[in-house]
A and B are shown apart, each in its own frame.
Chain A
Amino acid sequence: DADVTQTPRNRITKTGKRIMLECSQTKGHDRMYWYRQDPGLGLRLIYYSFDVKDINKGEISDGYSVSRQAQAKFSLSLESAIPNQTALYFCATSDFNGRAYNEQFFGPGTRLTVL
């Protein structure tokens, strides 16, 4: 079974709709991240969380919100989707060894299209 799972894998929606993307992990990591990838570009950070009570904005958080329901679950919401939020969305997890961040692992991605 995959260590980091995302649902749905593909979603087509209309402008103005509310959308939730979900992420679950079985790696036992405390840190979870949401990234966005636009065509031909690298990934950019939307939000990250150190634990259920610690949520932080990334570089492109406008138009998004998140919820850390448990250590293993981190969801991303688009309150009112717009076409320029069409992208590939990735969830990732890692932990911290006291001196450095350990390897970060990614889910399979959610391909979102906003019409």
Chain B
Amino acid sequence: GIQVEQSPPDLILQEGANSTLRCNFSDSVNNLQWFHQNPWGQLINLFYIPSGTKQNGRLSATTVATERYSLLYISSSQTTDSGVYFCAVTIYNQGGKLIFGQGTELSVKP
């Protein structure tokens, strides 16, 4: 089956720093989403981005479907950005189920 790999697995930043999280996938995908899981366990939708680039405030994402990767950019990080960031994909003819990567755990220090 498809493999979804995220890097780095862990990241520690000082407040105000920028970061780039990467998601590689091993096959063609129908859909790609980025999520933030906050310390209380809730999954927050960040981007639905099967291809192209989107921006939402300090966050932006780019998916290059032909090269099978997506990037999540966090600029001017804040302590509230801490948590785990997941990339997840759906593939054709699989009922729309999301296949998750293992996540990147981000810690932003004040």
Contact = CB atoms under 8 A, between A and B. Distances in A.
Contacts of B98: 33, 35, 43, 45, 92, 104
Contacts of A41: 102-103
B66 interface: no
A50 B96 CA distance: 10
B31 interface: yes
Given A42-B86, A42-B102, A109 B96 contact: no
Nearest to A49: B95
Secondary structure dominating the interface of A: strand
Interface of B: 4, 30-31, 33, 35, 41-43, 45, 48, 50, 86, 88, 90, 95-98, 100-103
Interface of A: 31, 33, 35, 41-45, 48, 50, 56, 58, 88, 90, 92, 94, 96, 100-106, 108-109, 111
Given A90-B43, A94-B96, A109-B43, A42 B90 contact: no
Contacts of A50: 95
Contact of B100 (A42, A56, A103): A42
